[in-house]
Amino acid sequence: MSEVTSSKIQSTRVGMDAAAIKQSILEHLVHTQSRFPDVASESDWYNALAHAVRDRMLERMMVTAKTYKANKSRTVCYLSAEFLPGPHLANNILALGIWQEVQEAVAQLGLDFESLLEEEVEPGLGNGGLGRLAACYMDSMATLKIPAIGYGIRYEFGIFRQEIEDGWQVEKTDKWLSYGNPWEIPRPRLRFNVHFGGHTEQFKDIDGILRVKWIPEWRVIGVAHDTPVMGYGVKNTNLLRLWSSEAAESFNFQAFNTGDYYGAVNEKVTSENLTKVLYPNDEPEAGKRLRLEQQYFFVSCSLQDMVRIYLQSGDPLDQFHHKYTAQLNDTHPAIAIPELMRLLVDRNQMDWDTAWHVTRNTFAYTNHTLLPEALEKWPLDLFKKVLPRHLEIIYEINSRFLDEARMKIHGLNGHLEKLSIIEEGARPQVRMAHLAVVGSYKVNGVAELHSELLRQNVLPDFHALWPDKITNVTNGVTPRRFMLLSNQPLAHLLRERIGCGWVTDLDSLHKLEALADDPDFQQQWQKVKRRNKERLARHALAATGQKIDPDSLFDVQVKRVHEYKRQHLNLLHIITLYNRLKDNPGLDIPPRTFVFGGKAAPGYFMAKLIIKAINSVAEVINRDPDMDGRLRVVFFPNFNVKTAHCIYPGADVSEQISLAGKEASGTGNMKFALNGALTVGTLDGANIEIREEVGKENFFLFGMTEAEVSALQQQGYHPQDYCQNDPELKSALDFLASGYFSHGDATLFRPLVDNLLNGDPYKVLVDYRSYVDCQARISEAYRDRQEWTRMSILNVARMGKFSSDRSIQEYTNNIWKIASVDVF
Ligand code: GFP
């Protein structure tokens, strides 16, 4: 019977040829969308196509789950408060290997494939690099056949949609679920209680053992929503399981009957608020309590789910860490450590030592930042109100840990304070990074320099205590989405010349080295770049109304807007170029288009002022007839994965200009270089490793090293000296402050200029001269197209290291110790 059923399924729902796909689309149009072709909208067709593709994935997802279950496979649980997967449809079609077939089916139906792809609203469930990295890793884990579940939050509203009004960023609610989400499978029966507040009581169990009972004050329910994540060219289909919150009692009849209509739905509103919105980074005060509740909520659901799955195997819980390794993506999920202890000790009556052994061997922690303000800390009083039992567990963990440390670092009491999970002071706090380090078996940074700085500066006492604990895994990005999918002209050329092996073995791009000097190949390379620049120009026109010339050099900086990333350094260079061209109209420099994109956290005044400054400078330059054909500036609104698809391939120059020692790794730097842009960058994060790989002659380096930055900080930094000693810098700052770019308003950009002159925390003024000179070298280099193209080819040829497959292989071998599992 089951054979019959499955072969029937095979023929009607999962056939891979164009005819079967077309049939599926039509069936879904009728049976899922309830529309007939004459009246179906683009959105109906998109949904029908998405469901047709999804059918073909679900079968694989079930076979995968069955295989992992039968094998009792060790599994990675990737705990992350953010996932930025980007649009699913095209990526899934590619992974299934049915691109041509779908195109054919869609064409037969008289539809336009590109506009169907455009219909998709991407899930913006992350802020930037961290969330996108999680998505790249999900892709690589599936492709490398590593059993994995990504656990996170199904935010009802993702990262805000950025609009630019009068040059300012305006935040609009991201209602990504408004039109439904064909990629997720709701699991209304997969639900867990999550408790908050209240107090704890001690009691003796029947064996006379003293135990603790948590009497919480309120609870919500977490409901699972699954999204399949397919590996490329393999059957393995892993799971992204996101939790949304529901009220335990969504309607209070009693309140309703007494006429209290608001009271009747109060609980529903409060409970659902929990997963309502993703908090933007760098907004420390925004909804602090709600954020802690969000973190606990998703972590508790995930761990309860892991325990549930585990117990199905019949194995004893003290072996839990053999089945699972849980990766903490930054400190956001670090509350998982006391939560697992609670589940083991309080719920399953395990003794503390065994539970601690299991916990400490379950978690590994990735740190993504060196910025002190981004290392999470929770005020003790707040923590106690929300999670009283967890605070007790943290105290116990801390006290036992400090005993262990005391013995190891005999007599050094001062160190203990620095190691403690609790920070004393006027308002004591829980240091989540310390909790994560103590409760994990491995800690990793995300680039060589970053990991080294973690060992030396951020966690030196932990490093002294456990010299083998802090390791490095340099970030990577998926070549499937960021080359094969988003740069099809390049993928096409590569297929013709070196085959397709690079899609899953990025090192094989090395084969391009032999072609770097071949004039014919160079010409084809230039054609590819030209097509991508034309595409970027079309998108820029649609998004900003601004016409840009694909013949000019496209100089691009896209990433979150933050002072440490120094978009304002880029801006000072633009103003300098403008001044030079105004003063000397005959100056011969290659025409340039500067492209910016990125969101600022809504509460981050300086970052928002930088966006305004970019747009104001753009307005003046783009309006000035003297700049016609010479200089253009555009700010691309609402930078996200979808817009990224057309921006990276169209860039000639990639701006990676953070102050050395501040950018943990960067991943945009990798995406640009993989698409043939040349990097202008500091020795920061993964730039260092990119430069090592591509060769220093193929990388435009400027600025201080991290050691020089530290030395300058020590000796005392006086930004005004730099301004006084550099007339071009002074003039650029004066222009910005004067009102020249702000319709005569000399107050608008004063805070930005004052910040640079009186403090300049990210040393923009120190690196200015070196940056501007480096940019002049870029202009010179761009004149020699042959040499430029050669450098571009070599950049791509040598980027193999930066595949997320390599990163995942390192996690697998060095941290998780997990084996791949074939799914047939
Ligand atoms: C953070 C760091 C980046 C790093 C990513 C991923 O990015 O340097 O590349 O994490 O590890 F800052 P954001 O989430 O802050 O953008």
Summarize pLDDT for 169-191 with one digit per residue, the tens. Answer: 999 999 999 999 999 999 999 99
* Domains of the chain with CATH codes: 1-71+96-121 (no CATH), 72-87+122-474+810-816 (3.40.50.2000), 479-800 (3.40.50.2000)
Angle at 124 between CA 157 and CA 42, to 5 degrees: 90
Q: What is the pLDDT of residue 8?
A: 47
Q: Is the CB of 474 under 6 A from ligand 1?
A: no
How many Å apart are CA 416 and CA 414, to the nearest integer? 5
How many Å apart are CA 42 and CA 39, to the nearest integer? 10
How many Å apart are CA 458 and CA 464, to the nearest integer? 12
**Do 15 and 4 touch, CB atoms closer than 8 A?**
no
Q: Is the CB of 560 under 6 A from ligand 1?
A: yes
- Residue 451: φ, ψ to 5°: -65, -35
- Residue 663: φ, ψ to 5°: -90, 115
Best probe residue, ligand 1, of 133, 557, 559, 657 (max atoms within 8 Å of C-beta): 133
Residue closest via CA to ligand 1's atom 13 equals 129
Q: What is the pLDDT of residue 261?
A: 77
β-bridge mates for residue 247, sequence order: 220
Strands (E), 316-441: 324-329, 363-366, 377-379, 422-423, 429-431
57 CB contacts (<8 Å, ≥6 apart)? 92, 96, 228, 230, 237
Quick one: CA dihedral 730, 731, 735, 736, positive or negative? negative
Catalytic residue (one of 51, 434, 455, 559): 559
How many Å apart are CA 783 and CA 795, to the nearest integer? 18
- Residue 75: φ, ψ to 5°: -130, 140
Dihedral over alpha carbons 506, 638, 241, 648 (to 10 degrees): 0
Indicate the burial class of 658 (C-beta count within 10 angstroms; 0-12, 13-18, 19 or more).
buried
Q: What is the pLDDT of residue 408?
A: 85
Q: What is the pLDDT of residue 411?
A: 65
**Count of helices and strands (H, E) across the chain:** 34, 22
The type of residue at 358 is V
Burial 92-109 (b: 16+ CB within 10 A, else e): bbbbbebbebbebbbeeb
Q: Is the CB of 669 under 6 A from ligand 1?
A: no
Q: What is the pLDDT of residue 384?
A: 97
Could you tell me what percentage of the chain is helix, strand and coil, using 3-state DSSP and rounding each to the nearest 5?
55, 15, 30
CA of 691 to the centre of ligand 1 (A): 19
**Annotated catalytic, 560?**
yes
Q: What is the pLDDT of residue 317?
A: 97
**Do 358 and 320 touch, CB atoms closer than 8 A?**
yes
Q: What is the pLDDT of residue 283?
A: 67
Strands (E), 4-160: 75-79, 148-153
What's 681-715 look like in SS3?
ECCCCCHHHHHHHHCHHHCEECCCCHHHHHHHHHH
How many Å apart are CA 637 and CA 33, to the nearest integer? 32
CA of 368 to the centre of ligand 1 (A): 6
292 CB contacts (<8 Å, ≥6 apart)? 335, 378, 382, 383, 386, 387
pLDDT tens digit sequence for 571-618? 999 999 999 999 999 999 999 999 999 999 999 999 999 999 999 999
How many Å apart are CA 393 and CA 378, to the nearest integer? 15
Among 633, 584, 608, smallest CA distance to 748 is for 608
Best probe residue, ligand 1, of 130, 371, 458 (max atoms within 8 Å of C-beta): 130
| Residue 225 token pair | 């929503």
Catalytic residue (one of 560, 612, 632, 662): 560
Cα–Cα distances in Å, from 334 out to 384, 432, 465, 636?
A: 16, 6, 20, 35
Among 396, 318, 391, smallest CA distance to 359 is for 318
**Do 661 and 453 touch, CB atoms closer than 8 A?**
yes
Angle at 157 between CA 137 and CA 31, to 5 degrees: 85
**Annotated catalytic, 671?**
yes
Q: Enter the ipTM.
A: 0.94
Cα–Cα distances in Å, from 21 out to 62, 97, 105, 392, 644?
A: 20, 13, 6, 57, 29
Strands (E), 714-771: none
Q: Is the CB of 665 under 6 A from ligand 1?
A: yes
Q: How many CB atoms lie within 10 A of CB 701?
A: 16
Residue closest via CA to ligand 1's atom 15 equals 129
568 CB contacts (<8 Å, ≥6 apart)? 610, 613, 752, 756, 764
Label residue 415 left, alpha or beta by phi (over 0 means left) and psi (-120 to 50 means alpha): alpha
Residue spans of the chain under pLDDT 50: 1-9
Q: What is the pLDDT of residue 286?
A: 63
Quick one: CA dihedral 82, 83, 87, 89, positive or negative? negative
Question: Which is the closest atom of ligand 1 to the Cα of 450?
Answer: 8
pTM over 0.95: yes
Tell me how far apart the terminal alpha carbons of the chain are, to the nearest angstrom.
21
Angle at 193 between CA 189 and CA 196, to 5 degrees: 155
- Chain centre to alpha carbon of residue 301: 22
**Annotated catalytic, 368?**
yes
Question: Which is the closest atom of ligand 1 to the Cα of 664?
Answer: 8
Quick one: CA dihedral 769, 773, 779, 781, positive or negative? negative
**Annotated catalytic, 533?**
no
Question: Which is the closest atom of ligand 1 to the Cα of 128?
Answer: 16
Catalytic residue (one of 161, 323, 434, 671): 671
CA of 131 to the centre of ligand 1 (A): 8
Q: What is the pLDDT of residue 252?
A: 77
Q: Is the CB of 662 under 6 A from ligand 1?
A: no
For strands 470-472 and 442-445, give the pairing.
parallel
Q: What is the pLDDT of residue 288?
A: 87
What's 478-512 look like in SS3?
CHHHHHHHCCHHHHHHHHHHHCCHHHCCHHHHHHH
CA of 312 to the centre of ligand 1 (A): 37
Q: What is the pLDDT of residue 409?
A: 79
How many Å apart are CA 506 and CA 261, to the nearest integer? 60
**Annotated catalytic, 227?**
no
**Annotated catalytic, 504?**
no
Q: What is the pLDDT of residue 3?
A: 44
CA of 608 to the centre of ligand 1 (A): 19
For strands 148-153 and 75-79, give the pairing.
parallel
How many Å apart are CA 273 and CA 171, to the nearest integer? 19
Radius of gyration of the chain from Cα atoms? 28
| Residue 634 token pair | 């555009």
